[in-house]
Amino acid sequence: MHLKTILPVLCMLLFACRKHPEKNNIPTARITYTDFTERPVLIKDGEPSFKLDIDGDGIQDFAFKGQQVQEPEHRYTFIYVDPLTEHAHQQAITLQACSFTRGAAIHLQLETGSMRYWSNSRGILTETEHFADRQERDGQFLGAAPLYLAVKVLRDGKTYLGWIELRHQVAAGIDQVYIIKAAINKEPDTAIIAGA
């Protein structure tokens, strides 16, 4: 995987996403949602980066961007996400892009059994290698089914867990990722259910 030209993400802390038998007991009263269902946000190479304020405090927390890198024999296109402040962190394991299915419980404590992850991804959601006769894709956010990027925001010594719903598609050979919804639990140090 070619990562030399991808911007390094800020320091990321450990947190967890797992299926939990008591997920129906996780409180939902203090969850703040951002809904793009009517006009999903398109992320692809050549489009401006999209900045998301997930907790509604007026500070942009994450930037989504497409990027192309030309190599002598072929080229790469990436769609990736970067935290914008020292308070915002993505993913469940340091430097691994993790995707979770709807209904997975996102917790503070790490448990890798119910998530798919891509080691040393540095925030890359999708990577496509373009050759003269074919394209090869990698990443944990491929396919049209909704997948959820787990995130956390640190404020005043407290941790707030959230998710961002992403959907991938290929149109005329170009990778596109749509941001559909996002949510964050305003109850600190409290789990949240992906997609709920």
Beta strands per DSSP E along the chain: 16-18, 31-35, 41-43, 50-52, 62-70, 75-83, 88-90, 97-99, 105-107, 116-118, 124-130, 135-138, 147-155, 158-171, 174-185, 192-193
User: pTM here?
Assistant: 0.77
Q: Which residues pair with 51 in a beta bridge?
A: 63
pLDDT for 74 equals 82
Which of 29-33, 95-99, 161-165 holds the top average pLDDT? Answer: 161-165
Note whether 137 and 127 are within 8 A (CB). yes
Note whether 9 and 123 are within 8 A (CB). yes
pLDDT digits (tens, 9 = 90+) for 43-78: 988 888 899 998 888 888 888 999 888 888 888 888
